[in-house]
Amino acid sequence: MTDTASSRFPAKIVEIISEDRVAFNRGSNEGVKKGQRFLVYALGKELLDPETGESLGQLEIVRGTGAAVHVQDRLTTIESDARSPSVRRVIRRTDPYAMFSGRTEETIEESGQTTGFDSPQVGDFVKPL
């Protein structure tokens, strides 16, 4: 992205499509590319340095990260890339020939499921990672 395009961020969420998809108000006109990763966040309260009393800025409350799956001229849809941990399960099979094969159980690894964004709201912020 060019410096001009990066000055167009943060963007704002304009639509919650599903728990794992949101749309925001920037697109190819601002240099967004399919597959590009983004941070979705809300702004919390202003925090002060306890030693100096100086403002440290507003806390960014992370809603999640995602990648652009559809880019239009002025809109981008991103899908969450957060995943639950992989699930490991053991399947025990009754095999009449197990005593000959030595195989009595099988382990199956499953990849984690998409967990979605954490309560995104219209108006939350989006910026490139």
pLDDT of residue 82: 82
Sorted by where each starts, the structural domains of the chain and their CATH numbers stand as 3-83+114-128 (2.40.10.410)
Query: Which position has the higher pLDDT, 7 or 95?
Result: 7
In this structure, the strands spanning 87-92 and 105-110 are antiparallel
pLDDT tens digits along 110-120? 555 667 899 99
pTM: 0.71
pLDDT tens digits along 6-17? 579 999 999 999
Question: Rounded to 5 degrees, what angle do the CA atoms 91, 81, 122 make?
Answer: 130
